[in-house]
A and B are shown apart, each in its own frame.
Chain A
Amino acid sequence: MRKFFRPREYFKPETLEEALNLLAKYGESARPIAGGTDLLVKKPPEVEYLIDIASLPLDYIKNDGEYLKIGSLSTFHSIETSSLFKEGAYRILAESAHDFGQATVKNMATIGGNVCSAVPSADFPPVLMVLDAKAKIVSLAGERIVSMEEFFAGVRKTVLRSDELLVEFQIPKPPPHTGAAFYKLGRTSVDIALVNAAARITLRSDGVCEDARIALGAVAPTPIRAKGAEKLLRKKEIDEALVEEASQTASEETKPISDVRSSAEYRKEMSKVLVKRVLQKSLKRAKGE
């Protein structure tokens, strides 16, 4: 087995087709590289061919009325500063991008890389999950659409095949009276999350909860939805006691580990605190407060 990260060759394709051809040709020994802020830190020794996808035309954010479409090469800086995310439920995209790393990393790191690295603590997957995002995946064989919930297969594992690229995230237009929030707990302002949580609440005009989505990161091998907690909230009028109960349930749905960053118990306890905070904030926003 190779012990060192010493790629033999580096390619910088200009077109999607070229990139897909290279991926198909080199298979498991090739790896796409976008911002490189994860890959070049991890330095996986098995990688022999680097396919730099940074020149592909995948750095865009557009809204076609029905779907918000974010190219996988969009950086956290462009998401944080996009005029499309100033209000409404989409606002949490900008807010979570704001909490991400520091300026230098924000200019390099891409949303595609954040999701494809499949690190349990990554900040965007929970946000994309509560927004009901889907990933558009392409290869020479064609195109497929995978929801965020089905995308992750384990720690640093996804459903992507080695010949595929994730090219776009598609986020459906949120219904009216929808509010969303994101909260990240780190040791300092520049950190990967000890726990992160996102929520989205949609209210009916009479104030009853129509839909609720809760997602957490860093508390299981993949980002998770807290479906039991969501169920408690749906079709109910949400008050403080219910938020408390749902937060407790969400925390029980987590399966965190202990590591140098935090103990499992702390992660579990914080899951509750964070879910409570994102629910309270989403609710306020859904009510237009």
Chain B
Amino acid sequence: MSEKELSVVGKPLPKIDAYEKAVGKARYTVDLNLPGMLHAKILRSPYAHARILKIDTSKAERLPGVKAVLSHKEARIILGDEAVLDDKVRYVGDKVAAVAATSEEAAEEALELIEVKYEVLPAVFDPEEAMKPEAPIIHPDVPLVKGKGNLRDPVFDYGVGDVEKGFKEADYVFENRYTTQRQAHCCLEPDVGIASWDPSGKLTYWTSVQGAFIVRGILARGLNMPENMIRVIVPPVGGGFGAKYGRLEDVLCALLAKKTGRPVKLECSREEEFVTTRVRSYSVFWTKTGVKKDGTFTARYVRAIIDMGAYAYGIYMAQRAGAWLITPYSCPNCRYEGYAVYTNTPSSGAFRGFSSVPIHFALESEINRIAEELGIDPLEFRMKNRRKTGEINPYNNVPIDAKGFDECMVKGAERIGWRRKRGRREKVEGVKRRGVGMAISVHFAPALHPDMLVPGVAEINVNADGTIHLLIGVTDIGQGINTTCAQIAAEELGVRLEDVTVSNIDTDVNPWGWLVAASSTLMQTGGAVRAAAAKVKKQLFEHAAKMLEVPPEELEAKDRRIYVKKESERGIEISDVIRQAGAPSISPYFVDAKAAYTFGAKATYTVPMYIPPWGAQFAEIEVDTETGQVKVLRLVAAHDVGKAINVSIVEGQIEGSLQNSIGYALTEELMLDKTTGQVLNPDFLDYKILHTTDMPKIDVILVETNSPAGVFGAKGVGEMGHIPTAAAIADAVYDAVGVRIKELPLTPEKILKALRER
């Protein structure tokens, strides 16, 4: 399609919901209250592993204000390997019972009155321990690898070539072990839902979630109900980051509402938010790499051990992390083994940079180390080994499109002053040292995995005055997808951004949509929006063509007007086209009728091929050699975003990712007591996220390669900024003081210890 000059897409327009959020007027699920609504609380396990021998809820039921108590006796509904409420608990914080009462206080007090007799079972908190044959078995009923304790079957084992042969051909073989910590999402709005049943037996559920239709499916299966009897409504969402894809607590909330006949709200406390919402996994990576003297790879092997915690939501990490071994660099022999292991710890699950973030730390750190040991500049090393466009990517056996990869590295290096600064070990203020480091990233995009290749769906309705209602199936969780989709619709239809309204999700109204995940939302749904808008434009052009007496192909639309391409002064307002299509009426009441059903369309879009997003990040840091503290001075993030539909939103996504990932590199870690498995820091006092005052200078470099797979050339950018940061910072620490930290986060104590042992 020949592109006209863009007037809405590519502009840094303010988000359409910015004002209400900035002034604190947006109403999130946590802000909602229904008449007669009850408050629910969950009794959580004090033990990491135990059987519930007896549970007596009678005292709790008699407490004034308490309307219902549920235990496994009524709610042992199993989905996968987890029950809504079970007779066994598998981590400290697991669900034991639930109460609905007239106030949060009464519900909290009722929890204290529930009497539970536990048989405490031996527990295991470390995935490598949990794979030993003598480890206590946490899930006897799921497929496990024989003789390997809690190792979930299957082990994911794939690759290309023959690594053993590759190691023999190598001049050097490097081995290492890296670990990455549990990270919590820290959504400002906690997980929350409000369930309300109407007399017809229909359930309405308001919730803060990244996938309304996924939650509807969970509710339908958990409650054994048809999907048309469940309506899920998603008000503005206060952050998701991968945490919010539906939980069995949703079913629990609905059950309490059903039992009491009143609406019930179930809201996580901050502590529950930290402990129970499926963190980024603790992971262990054993790496082995064969290289020639000149830095050519001969073989790359990784064994990834992913701690799933108590339930198997993290199994996908183990399955997919090998993509990031195989995709970015050329190497004839690669092998990935992914182990998913149960432990008696909080479950792990999706988190921004899903499956990519931990393994990139290991692989990129190892590349920096190998380059150093071979005496090759890490940037040169990458330029030499990185995949080239057209090469077959053995991960999916499809030619790769690596446009943009080089440019990210080259531009980023130039901006940070790589050649000037690398290897200088610059001294400042006596005890401080400065260094620079780098890492690259690659990540999901739709079409990498067939099971993630779900179409985007969009529906456009046109009002008689030329304004637009856009309905999509995916949720705006703050990332700005509603605005971006509105821009796409406005661009395609030739109207202004403010002419387009995008409604938040109501599953009774909106078309179906998948999760907001895997950097897929814009590419899938945005594509559908453009396709739906193109259909509507065609309808408008057909009418306008008659009025202007030219063939429709000769028309163009812009700024609310349809005009003849070659004679732009010959045109007509879109609202006039619509009005003309309406039936003449003698009453001012009925003019809209025909116009409103003449225009409108629904469309789907399936991304045709996997074109990865590429990125490179460079960090400049300062180490205080006496305290071990690392201060990030500057981060340069160069990302191939395909095309920035909204420059402010794209930069915002990358900046937000950086904030989150500097925390991952330096301070964020959900810590467990090694003997009880209890989370030690479930609050912001001791789970340290970065504040605005901790942020370094940030340079975002947008590389635009116009991807043929994405709408207007766009690629997904929601996660990329998170992926390379930790490895780049660790590399910069090495550049500054000569020690490589292989266990995230890079705490001052680890750095001091390494300095001492150097």
Contact = CB atoms under 8 A, between A and B. Distances in A.
Q: Check if A and B associate.
A: yes
B109 A189 contact: no
Contacts of B627: 185, 270, 273
B685 interface: yes
Contact of B749 (A3, A41, A266): A266
A269 B685 contact: no
Interface in A164-223: 185, 187-192
Interface in B611-630: 626-627, 629
A83 interface: no
A190 B691 contact: yes
Contact of A192 (B681, B685, B693): B685
A84 B691 CA distance: 29
Interface stretch (A19-27, A68-76, A257-265, A281-289): A257-265
Contact of A188 (B688, B749, B752): B688
Interface in B23-42: none
B119 interface: no
A188 B690 contact: yes
Contacts of B656: none
Contact of A260 (B108, B667, B686): B686
Interface string A111-143: 000000000000000000000000000000000
B429 to A, nearest CB: 11
A188 B667 contact: yes
Contact of B694 (A3, A189, A270): A189
Chain A interface helix/strand/loop/mixed: loop
Given A260-B671, A260-B681, A261-B686, A190 B626 contact: no
Contacts of B757: none
Contacts of A192: 685
A44 to B, nearest CB: 16
B112 interface: yes
A3 B109 CA distance: 9
A156 to B, nearest CB: 15
Nearest to B628: A266
A102 B690 CA distance: 12
A102 B691 contact: yes
A273 B681 contact: no
A4 B752 contact: no
Interface string B617-661: 000000000110100000000000000000000000000000000
A194 to B, nearest CB: 9
A263 B749 contact: yes
B680 interface: yes
Contacts of A266: 748-749, 752
B667 A187 contact: yes
Contacts of B694: 188-190
Interface residues of B, number: 22
Contact of B108 (A4, A188, A191, A262): A4
A266 B752 CA distance: 9
A269 B752 contact: yes
Given A262-B749, A266-B748, A187 B691 contact: no
Interface string B104-126: 01001100100000000000000
A4 B105 contact: yes
Contacts of B680: 260
Interface string A265-278: 01001100100000
A6 interface: yes
A189 B691 contact: yes
A278 to B, nearest CB: 13
A281 to B, nearest CB: 12
A218 B721 CA distance: 36
Contacts of A262: 749
Contacts of B112: 3
Nearest to B631: A189
B691 A188 contact: yes
Contacts of B686: 260-261
A262 B627 CA distance: 12
Interface in B714-754: 748-749, 752
A189 B667 CA distance: 11
Nearest to A266: B749
B663 to A, nearest CB: 8
Nearest to A262: B749
A58 B502 CA distance: 53
Contacts of B693: 102, 189-190
A132 to B, nearest CB: 28
Contacts of A263: 749
Interface in A218-273: 260-263, 266, 269-270, 273
A198 to B, nearest CB: 17
A173 B220 CA distance: 74
Contacts of A102: 691, 693
Contacts of A188: 667, 688-691, 694
A40 to B, nearest CB: 13
A188 B685 CA distance: 11
Contacts of A4: 105, 108-109
B323 to A, nearest CB: 33
Interface in B297-331: none
Nearest to A261: B686
Interface in B508-542: none
A263 to B, nearest CB: 6
A49 to B, nearest CB: 18
Nearest to A186: B688
A6 B302 CA distance: 54
A191 B629 CA distance: 14
A136 B522 CA distance: 63
A187 B688 contact: yes
A39 to B, nearest CB: 14
A260 B683 CA distance: 12
Contacts of A269: 752
A70 to B, nearest CB: 25
Contacts of A189: 691, 693-694
A192 B685 CA distance: 8
Contacts of A261: 686
Contacts of B685: 41, 192
A30 to B, nearest CB: 21
Nearest to B747: A187
Nearest to B108: A4
A160 to B, nearest CB: 24
Contacts of B108: 4
Contacts of A270: 627
A192 B109 CA distance: 31
A266 B680 CA distance: 19
A102 B109 CA distance: 34
A6 B105 contact: yes
Contacts of B752: 266, 269
Given A4-B108, A102-B693, A191 B688 contact: yes
Nearest to B626: A273
Interface string B88-118: 0000000000000000010011001000000
A192 B690 CA distance: 14
B130 to A, nearest CB: 23
B111 to A, nearest CB: 10
Contacts of B688: 187-188, 191
23 contacts: A3-B109, A3-B112, A4-B105, A4-B108, A41-B685, A102-B691, A102-B693, A185-B627, A187-B667, A188-B667, A188-B689, A188-B691, A188-B694, A189-B691, A189-B693, A190-B691, A192-B685, A260-B671, A261-B686, A262-B749, A263-B749, A266-B752, A273-B627
Interface of B: 105, 108-109, 112, 626-627, 629, 667, 671, 680-681, 685-686, 688-691, 693-694, 748-749, 752
Given A102-B691, A273-B626, 18 more contacts: A3-B109, A4-B105, A4-B109, A6-B105, A185-B629, A188-B667, A188-B688, A188-B689, A188-B691, A188-B694, A189-B694, A190-B691, A190-B693, A260-B681, A260-B686, A262-B749, A263-B749, A266-B748
9 A-B pairs with least C-beta separation: A189-B693, A273-B626, A190-B691, A187-B688, A260-B680, A189-B694, A260-B681, A266-B749, A260-B686
